[in-house]
Structure 1
Amino acid sequence: MRVLHAVTLHSPSHAFGGPVRVALNLAKGLRGLGHEARLLALGEGFPDPWPTSVEGVPAKLFPARRLLPLGFSGMTSPALLASAGRLVRDADVVHVHLARDLVTLPVALAALRAGKPLVLQTHGMVDPSEKLLAKVLDAVAVRRLLRGADAVLYLTPHEREGLDAVVGGALPGAVRLVNGTPAQEERPAPAGPPRILYSARLQARKRPVDFVDAAPAILAAHPDAEFVVAGPDEGELAAVRARIAELGLGGCFTVPGALSASEVLTELRRAHVYVLPSVDEPFPMSVLEALSVGVPSVVTHSNGLARDIAAAGAGRAVPPGAADVAQAVLSLLDPTENAAAGASARRLAADSFSMEAVLGTLLPIYEKALR
Structure 2
Amino acid sequence: MRVLHAVTLHSPTHAFGGPVRVALNLAKGLRARGHEASLLALGEGFPDPWPTEVEGVPAALYPAKRLLPLGFSGMTSPALLAAAGRLVRGADVVHVHLARDLVTLPIALAALRAGKPLVLQTHGMVDPSGKLLAKVLDAVAVRRLLRGADAVLYLTPHEREALDAVVGGAGLDNTVRLVNGVPAQEARPALSGPPRILYSARLQERKRPVDFVNAMSLVAQRVPQARYVVAGPNEGEYGAVFHQMMTMRLDGSMTIPGALSSDQVLEELRRAHVYVLPSVDEPFPMSVLEALSVGVPVVVTHSNGLARDVVAAGAGRAVEPGPEGVAEAVLELLDPGVNGAASLAARKLAAESFSMDGVLDTVLSVYAGALKRRAG
- What secondary structure is seen at the aligned counterpart in 1 of 2:242? helix
Residue 257 of structure 1 and its aligned partner are, at CA, apart by: 0.2
Counterpart in the other structure of 1:64: 64
Structure 2: how far apart are the matches of 1:132 and 1:190?
A: 51
> Which residues in structure 2 correspond to 1:95-106 (within 5 Å)?
95-106=95-106
Counterpart for residue 7 of structure 2? 7
Gaps of 5+ in 1: none
Partner of 1:39: 39
* 1:1-371 correspondence runs (5 A): 1-168=1-168, 169-371=170-372
CA distance in 2, matches of 1:278, 1:194: 22
- Could you tell me which amino acid in structure 1 is paired with residue 365 of structure 2? P
Q: For residues 201 and 330 of structure 1, what CA distance do their matches in structure 2 show?
A: 24
Q: Residues of 2 paired with 1:320 and 1:191: CA distance? A: 30
CA distance in 2, matches of 1:126, 1:313: 32
Q: 1:295 and 1:354 mapped to 2: Cα distance?
A: 16
Q: Distance in 2 between matches of 1:125 and 1:218?
A: 34
Q: How many residues align?
A: 371
* Superposition deviation, residue 252 in structure 1: 1.4
Identity %: 78
In 2, distance between residues paired with 1:217 and 1:257? 23
2:272 counterpart letter in structure 1:
A
Gaps of 5+ in 2: none
Deviation at 1:98, TM superposition (A): 0.2
Q: CA deviation at 1:172?
A: 2.0
Whole-angstrom CA distance in 2 between matches of 1:247 and 1:128: 39
**Cα RMSD for the two superposed structures:** 0.6
**Which amino acid is 1:26 matched to?**
L
Pick which of 95-104 and 219-228 moved more.
219-228
Q: Distance in 2 between matches of 1:11 and 1:324?
A: 34
DSSP 3-state at the match of 2:284: coil
Separation (CA, whole Å) in 2 of partners of 1:130 and 1:190 = 48
Deviations 1:52-93 (A, max 9, x none): 000000000000000000000000000000111111000000
Deviation for aligned residue 1:249: 1.3
CA distance in 2, matches of 1:221, 1:335: 15
Per-residue displacement from partner, 1:286-314 (whole Å, max 9, x unpaired)? 00000000000000000010000000000
How many angstroms apart in 2 are the aligned matches of 1:256 and 1:68? 30
Distance in 2 between the 1:177 and 1:97 partners?
Answer: 13
Secondary structure of the residue aligned to 1:184 is coil
4+ residue stretches of structure 1 with deviation over 3 A?
none
Aligned-pair distance for 1:215?
1.2
d(CA) in 2 for partners of 1:97 and 1:123?
A: 7
Counterpart secondary structure, 1:137: helix
- Alpha-carbon distance in 2 for matches of 1:278, 1:324: 13
What is the alpha-carbon distance in structure 2 between the residues aligned to residue 122 and residue 242 of structure 1?
35
Could you tell me the TM-score, scaled by structure 1's length?
Answer: 0.99
Partner deviation per Cα, 1:22-51 (whole Å, 9 max, x = no partner): 000000000000000000000000011100
- Secondary structure at the aligned position of 2:8 is classed as strand
> Shift in Å at residue 160 of structure 1?
0.6
SS in 2 for 1:96: strand
Partner letter of residue 45 of structure 2?
Answer: G
Distance 2:23 2:324 in 1: 35
Structure 1 residue 216: Cα displacement: 2.0
CA distance in 1, matches of 2:250, 2:193: 19
Paired residue type of 1:204: E
Q: 2:16 is matched by which residue type in structure 1?
A: F
AA partner of residue 200 (structure 1)? A
> CA offset at residue 254 of structure 1?
0.2
